[in-house]
Copies of this chain bind each other. A is one copy, B any other.
Amino acid sequence: MHSFPKSEIVMMLVSMALMLGLGKVVGELFRRFSMPAVVGEITAGIILGPTLLGRISPDAYTWLFSSGSKSVMAIESFVLFGVTLLLLVAGMELDFSAILRQGKSITVISSFNIIIPFVAGFLLARTFPGLFGIPEGKIIPALYIGVALSITALPVITKILMDIKLFQTDFGIMVMASALVNDLAGWIIFSIIIQLFESGTVDALRVLKTILLTTTLVFFILTIVRQFINRAIPWIQAKTEWPGGIITFIVTTGLFFSALTEAIGVHAILGAFLCGIAIGDSPYLKKHTREIINQFIGNIFAPLFFVAIGIRVDFVQNFNPALFFTIIPIAISSKVAASMVGSILSGMTVKESLPIGFAMSTHGAMEIILGMIGRNYGIINNEVFVVIVIMSISTSLASAPLIRIFIKGEAELLIQELLERKLFIPNLKSIHAEGVIKELSLKASLATGIQSDYLGKMVLAREAIMSTGIGCGVAVPHARIYGLQKPLIAVGISQHGVDFNSPDGKHAHLVFLILTPEKDVNSQVLILSQISNIFLDEQIRNESINAASFNEFIAVIKKAVFEKTKLS
């Protein structure tokens, strides 16, 4: 602290608060429109950076982020630390055992997925070196472009496979494993390129030496170190304060291997990534520990990193349309082609293989990290960097809609997304089941335009067959409604309690009116099972009943859903 003058402290705190705060706000806005939060965070950086703030108010921009000041140095060190931790977490998420299990079957697909885009990128950069700002005769920047095109976005692929309900199938596991190998190989090749770039010369001996060093390191960490960590984890969990000991162990080990790899000449980031794989692979690691680390890194260090992207580069000035329109088609088509070849060789039809190609063609957060490192080393210029960031964003955004054209997947039905303020009654007036159903039907009617009497009649008809009090103070009157477009839940809280003829004899304090489209046979059951699952928990029931507003109510539900998912 003593080397920070007062004004620098204010500046550092203000700029970090701004980066974090705006990053989260814009991130959430983007998430609201079903876009990844990371795109919002980069946008927040563009707003705070030279692109926007720097144009509108150069003084404010300089005051906040003028390079060379101590507060900017501080932020830079946070970003550096953050990248190391991000790669550590990325490694921890990667299921190395799955790769080992799949063995040979994935080698084909993943090889195509690395080689074809790599060659395409390399040839593209060799053919138009001027476009990429590559000096005459330099081979390494072209190799770098090859790697940039060959890396995929594992989290994006995971999400897509889940959305189209292929995640748990043999095919889904194979695609995931291919993507894993792809990422791992990509980082290794990248690391070799960085070493060659730093050494300045590219002769056969040097290349061989670098490859040997890197593969030895990879082998060492993924075998001996992995075994060692796997044995150390239960020991640490047993011997030290829980979960503090294991959290510190993970972060310390990550930092140590980053430092080690950097010291022997391989980039720090590969060390963190490999160490993350070794740690994440241990079956002894508890979900709870992963969550604390993920949450903190995901919500503090990751946003800082992605906001910092936009702060450093002017995205308007450095946008080169020629470069953009050259690289994007090649990037997508080479990935799609590679995946299709691989998929067809595995026995799929062309039509089936196409969506997989779109999935594999996504470039995400890892690609942006790779771009950042390439730019910092001076392998690529700002124009190429900007195109890499835009490519990562646009492929991530485009792939899901493209896949939906070919595979009609059902979106998952989640009750927390069906609950709405306008369908919420914090204080039911009626103390009889019929009156409560009428109150809720009125709300539903206002939201849908369907006559309230009709809704009430349908629900009461169902109620006449068998009462819908499910016990523990919860009732779920429901009906399938002709003309309804999508499922709807109206919720009412009754402090008095309403007799819904429950098996346990208890009056209902939480009443969920569930209306589903007549032709939709699944939603009703799905919603009912989710509600009964969530409200089995007494604490959640009490918290929901005592919720004074819709915001409180939905917060309780979200937390409950989160806890349930965590345990499953």
Contacts and interface: CB of A to CB of B under 8 A. Distances in A.
A422 interface: no
Interface in A84-104: 84
A487 interface: no
A303 B498 CA distance: 54
22 contacts: A1-B76, A6-B262, A10-B259, A10-B262, A12-B80, A13-B259, A16-B255, A17-B255, A20-B248, A21-B248, A24-B248, A24-B249, A73-B77, A74-B81, A237-B558, A238-B550, A238-B551, A238-B558, A239-B551, A247-B295, A288-B559, A292-B292
A169 interface: no
A: contact size bracket: 35 or more
A256 interface: yes
A435 interface: no
A242 interface: yes
A338 interface: no
A68 to B, nearest CB: 8
Instruction: Give how many copies assemble into the complex.
Output: 2
A262 B242 CA distance: 36
Interface of A: 1-4, 6, 9-10, 12-14, 16-17, 20-21, 23-24, 28, 31, 37, 67, 70, 73-74, 76-81, 83-84, 198, 234-235, 237-245, 247-249, 251-252, 255-256, 258-259, 262-263, 268, 284, 286, 288, 291-293, 295-296, 298-300, 303, 372-373, 375-376, 549-552, 554-555, 558-559, 562-563
Contacts of A239: 28, 551
A67 B563 CA distance: 46
A357 B17 CA distance: 41
Contacts of A78: 77-78, 81
Most buried by B among A6, A9, A77, A263: A77
B552 A234 contact: yes
A304 to B, nearest CB: 10
Contact of A237 (B4, B6, B14, B555): B555
Interface centre among A4, A67, A70 (most CB of B within 10 A): A4
Contacts of A234: 549, 551-552, 555
Given A234-B555, A244-B298, A296-B296, 7 more contacts: A24-B245, A243-B295, A247-B295, A248-B299, A251-B299, A251-B300, A292-B295
Contacts of A244: 24, 295, 298-299
A9 B243 contact: no
Given A10-B262, A67-B3, A37 B268 contact: no
